[in-house]
């Protein structure tokens, strides 16, 4: 299969490839006048151009999905499962090739790109169990000769809006479960790095997803708003920033749609002095600086408790050992940020930390990588002496910046975490079972790790961020997402034999 099948090369020699749309099973050249460059963040090379789809193209994608739903909803569940089985096999087969594309357009190391794909693949594997996941319930003889049972039926056309930081994992969180449940889907990948997403979509088509069941449109706010307000879309799933996520949730909700919106975070790691020192420090540095800090579940705040305050020099020394380089290069620990704009924002927040009085223990500004001098690099940056009023604490930095706060007791640490408006993830590092139990019971955060720095659950559980990190009551995978993508229908039935005794007229609501 051609690695750039979803791209069309202009006939003019040397022209930049252009990403297509997928509408009704056909790869479509957009008729838009607005295109955006897809830029390698390590080199600034323009890899391709992505269209900002027209309103008519979005309408066509939704119309195709609506038409396909009329037959796809009745496709036997075994047939849907077999497509998911084929898709997971194809993703496994092509994961290394896709990882190269993902690294080039997003900046991740090859190993991290492969991890991005694998965590999405786990959800595809879970979708292969849709036969049991979508089962209803049955209760016999709830009254005389009366049975009650529930059906979990697909809801129609669903849509997903995905972020730049996980161009493989997040799309695979969305469309496989939606279509496995019998829905059709319109996907809007990030306009910053859609090529690896499109390779996964190609594999879905190759796996046998019928025409119109999966459609892809590209674009910015206009396309997002078009999805949120379209009368034929029944549900919208979003992962991204708090600002956009709140907008999506409100706009789509106002137009009568189911919405799940996974948004920003400020994830704390609380460290007690009895924790395994070496393992804890390794975990903190990996979770804080991996993927250049561009993970919604990245550890961005370390809370050192009591005698653990003495660990700061060791944390700094370990962070200093990380290698900053292009994601494509062997031995890279920290790659570039996604864009020059993202780099400028991170640098601005680092400067605010200095200005507001935090101690800059490790300064990642001014990093220059030989051979990649134009890259969007920021090195590992570490602050101590941080207070909860500083911008580097209150804002999600989304870069390789780790801030350290200090408290005297576990109770103070719990209060600090709970006072933060975000509730995506948190972790406690300790060897005390009593402390761990207290922490997991009292902490007001959706996902908790005990000696785990990034507590993203496996797909047979559900992603359960909370408070300011999530709008909507159901998560994007696991059991909860089956509820999100299906409508429960309850049937109460009684069958009579020809010689049944006539009970007469019953004017009450009681079943007899």
Q: In the structure encoding, which two tokens stand for residue 217, read together?
A: 């449109």
Report residue 3 as tokens.
Answer: 């690695």
Cβ contact 337:331 at 8 Å:
no
Question: Which of helix, strand or coil describes residue 36?
Answer: strand
User: 428 by DSSP, 3-state: which?
Assistant: strand
Total Cβ atoms within 10 A of residue 225: 17
The residue among 98, 234, 263 whose CA lies nearest residue 159 is 234
Angle at 131 between CA 126 and CA 135, to 5 degrees: 110
Burial class (CB in 10 A: 0-12, 13-18, 19+), 380: buried
Rounded to whole angstroms, the Cα distance separating 239 from 16 reads 29
Q: How far apart are CA 258 and CA 238, in angstroms?
A: 11
Catalytic site residue from 128, 181, 228, 296: 296
Q: How far apart are CA 92 and CA 241, in angstroms?
A: 30
Q: Are 35 and 50 in contact (CB under 8 A)?
A: yes
Integer Cα distance of 406 and 304 in angstroms: 5
**Which residue(s) pair with 407 in the sheet?**
305
441 and 341 Cβ atoms separated by less than 8 Å:
no
Burial 108-142 (b: 16+ CB within 10 A, else e): bbbebbbbbbbbbbbbbbbbbebeebbeeeeeeee
Dist. CA 296–CA 424, nearest whole Å: 8
Please work out, in degrees rounded to the nearest 5, the angle formed at the alpha carbon of residue 169 by the alpha carbons of 445 and 244: 60
Active site residue 158: no
Burial state string for 31-49 with b = 16 or more CB within 10 A and e = fewer than 16:
ebeebbebbbbbbeeebbb
Q: What is the 3-state composition of the chain as percent helix, strand, coil, each rounded to the nearest 5?
A: 40, 20, 40
| Alpha helices, DSSP H, located in 38-184 | 55-72, 77-106, 110-127, 130-133, 169-180
Q: Which two tokens stand for residue 484?
A: 């999100």
Active site residues: 296
């Amino acid at each position: 299969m051609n690695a750039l099948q979803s791209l069309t090369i202009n006939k003019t020699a040397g022209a930049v490839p252009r990403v297509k749309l997928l509408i009704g099973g056909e790869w479509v050249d957009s008729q838009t006048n607005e295109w955006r460059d897809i830029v390698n963040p390590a080199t600034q090379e323009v890899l391709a151009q992505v269209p900002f789809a027209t309103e008519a193209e979005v309408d066509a994608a939704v119309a195709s999905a609506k038409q396909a739903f009329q037959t796809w909803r009745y496709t036997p569940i075994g047939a849907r499962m077999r497509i998911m089985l084929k898709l997971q096999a194809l993703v496994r087969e092509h994961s290394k090739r896709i990882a190269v594309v993902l690294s080039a357009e997003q900046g991740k190391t090859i190993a991290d790109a492969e991890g991005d794909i694998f965590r999405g693949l786990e959800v595809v594997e879970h979708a292969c169990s849709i036969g049991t996941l979508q089962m209803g319930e049955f209760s016999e003889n709830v009254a005389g000769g009366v049975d009650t049972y529930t059906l979990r039926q697909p809801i129609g056309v669903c849509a997903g809006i995905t972020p730049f930081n996980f161009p493989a994992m997040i799309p695979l969180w969305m469309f496989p479960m939606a279509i496995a449940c019998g829905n059709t889907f319109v996907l809007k990948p990030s306009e910053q790095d859609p090529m690896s997403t499109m390779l996964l979509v190609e594999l879905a088509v190759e796996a046998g997803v019928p025409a119109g069941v999966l459609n892809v449109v590209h674009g910015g706010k206009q396309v997002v708003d078009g999805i949120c307000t379209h009368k034929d879309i029944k549900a919208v799933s979003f992962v991204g920033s708090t600002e956009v996520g709140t907008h999506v949730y409100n706009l789509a909700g106002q137009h009568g749609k189911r919405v799940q919106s996974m948004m920003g975070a400020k994830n704390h790691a609380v460290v007690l002095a009895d924790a395994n020192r070496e393992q804890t420090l390794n975990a903190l540095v990996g979770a804080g600086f991996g993927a250049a800090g561009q993970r919604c579940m990245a550890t961005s705040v370390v809370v050192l408790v009591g005698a653990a305050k003495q660990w700061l020099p060791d944390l700094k020394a370990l962070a200093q050992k990380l290698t900053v380089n292009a994601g494509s290069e062997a031995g890279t620990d920290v790659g570039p940020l996604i864009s020059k704009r993202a780099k400028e924002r991170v640098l601005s927040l680092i400067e605010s930390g200095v200005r507001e009085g935090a101690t800059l223990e490790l300064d990642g500004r001014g990093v220059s990588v030989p051979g990649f001098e134009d890259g969007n690099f920021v090195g590992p940056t570490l602050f101590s002496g941080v207070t909860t009023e500083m911008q580097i604490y209150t804002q999600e930095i989304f870069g390789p910046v780790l801030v350290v706060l200090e408290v005297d007791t576990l109770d103070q640490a719990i209060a600090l975490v709970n006072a933060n408006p975000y509730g995506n993830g948190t972790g406690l590092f300790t060897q005390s079972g009593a402390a761990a139990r207290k922490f997991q019971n009292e902490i007001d955060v959706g996902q908790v790790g005990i000696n785990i720095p990034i507590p993203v659950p496996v797909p047979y559980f559900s992603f359960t961020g909370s408070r300011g990190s999530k709008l909507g009551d159901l998560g994007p995978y696991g059991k909860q997402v089956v509820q999100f993508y299906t409508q429960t229908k309850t049937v109460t039935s009684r069958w009579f034999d020809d010689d049944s005794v006539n009970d007469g007229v019953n004017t009450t609501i009681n079943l007899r």
